[in-house]
Amino acid sequence: MQATISYIKEKTGNFIPDIALVLGSGLGEFTKNLDGITLPYGDIPGFKTSTVKGHNGSLFFTTLFDKKIVVMQGRLHFYEGYELSDITYPVKIFKMLGVKTLILTNAAGSLREDFKPSDLMLISDHINFTCKNPLIGKNDDTLGERFPDMSNIYTDSLRDLAKKCAAESEIELKEGVYVMTTGPSYETPAEVKMFGILGGSAVGMSTVPEAIVSNYLGLKTIGISLITNYASGISKEKLSHNEVVEVGRIATKKFTKLINAIINKIEV
């Protein structure tokens, strides 16, 4: 970790970010017109590189509304074959760099008819259906406690802020429970039905490990899903990754506007 931190500090001129933002599938355009410093994951000691189409795989350091931000352009997924400790390594690094707030975004399939493709969903809570936990292994007591409470992962005050920002920007923001599966196969209709009965609103293949570690480290956390499709069985259409990327492309403007509004209003 010290090697990672030293490398980042050297390359960014001791940049101390307040906020970390993780961009999900098809949402990589967020940084398009921003000036900043890009560090490809492959160059950062301790970082693994992402293999997914539509994910860039770099850290981007920039300043927005007087707030210093580190953006993860492309995240790692469990289905790529990484350990959960690899996936969540950047979150630990963010904490050590000085980050106080983590904004997680993703693409997800809707488990309910009233959450439509291109809707944005604020994550109120999650169900970890991978049944694997990123905190398994020897605990580093300097980072967090062995049995951390998870009753308020997605910080209430930030959820209130997101709702306020959405209302002011006239963006409809749904709110619900995110279910994570390992992927990479999409769900069966029977699984989708079960997730709905269990209280899920949307299903995806990311975010939960990062959110668990973020909460463990004491970071404030906010999660927003872009609904890219109805999950299997809710609509009769077959699912394709291209559809996920395409809806991401269409909804990018709305998403960017909301994230900008939230970053603008967050107190650091």
Which are the catalytic amino acids?
A: 25, 55, 77, 79-80, 107, 205-206, 229, 241
Binding status of residue 5 toward ligand HPA by CB under 6 A: no
Cβ count near 41 (within 10 Å): 21
H-helix segments, the chain: 2-12, 84-97, 156-168, 189-197, 208-216, 241-265
Among 196, 204, 223, 248, indicate the residue that binds ligand HPA (CB under 6 A): 204
Q: How far apart are CA 139 and CA 195, in angstroms?
A: 31
Q: How far apart are CA 162 and CA 157, in angstroms?
A: 9
Contacting range for ligand HPA; rule: CB under 6 A; set: 11-19, 102-110, 124-132, 252-260: 102-110
Q: Minimal distance in Å, beta carbon 249 to ligand HPA?
A: 14
Among 107, 122, 212, 262, indicate the residue that binds ligand HPA (CB under 6 A): 107
Q: Minimal distance in Å, beta carbon 76 to ligand HPA?
A: 15
Contacting range for ligand HPA; rule: CB under 6 A; set: 13-21, 47-55, 105-113, 258-266: 105-113
Binding status of residue 231 toward ligand HPA by CB under 6 A: yes
Binding status of residue 205 toward ligand HPA by CB under 6 A: yes
Binding status of residue 262 toward ligand HPA by CB under 6 A: no
The burial class, CB within 10 Å (0-12 / 13-18 / 19+), for 75 is: buried
Binding status of residue 251 toward ligand HPA by CB under 6 A: no
Residue 24 Cα distances to 106, 137, 175, 226, angstroms: 4, 27, 18, 9
Task: Give backbone dihedrals phi and psi of 224, rounded to 5 degrees, phi first.
Answer: -130, 130
Binding status of residue 57 toward ligand HPA by CB under 6 A: no
Nearest residue relative to ligand HPA (C-beta): 109
| Total of chain residues touching ligand HPA, rule CB under 6 A | 13
Residues of 55-69 as b/e, b for ≥16 C-beta within 10 angstroms? Answer: bbbbbbbbebeebbb
90: Cβ contacts below 8 Å, ≥ 6 apart: 20, 47, 59, 72
Among 158, 228, 248, 254, indicate the residue that binds ligand HPA (CB under 6 A): 228
Residue 165 Cα distances to 27, 172, 217, angstroms: 19, 10, 26
Q: Minimal distance in Å, beta carbon 6 to ligand HPA?
A: 36
**How does strand 173-180 pair with strand 202-204?**
parallel
Q: Minimal distance in Å, beta carbon 251 to ligand HPA?
A: 12
Binding status of residue 18 toward ligand HPA by CB under 6 A: no
Among 41, 82, 186, 195, indicate the residue that binds ligand HPA (CB under 6 A): 186
Helix (H, G, I), strand (E, B) or coil at 104: strand
Q: In the complex, which residues of this chain contact ligand HPA (CB under 6 A)?
A: 107-109, 186-187, 203-205, 228-229, 231, 239, 244
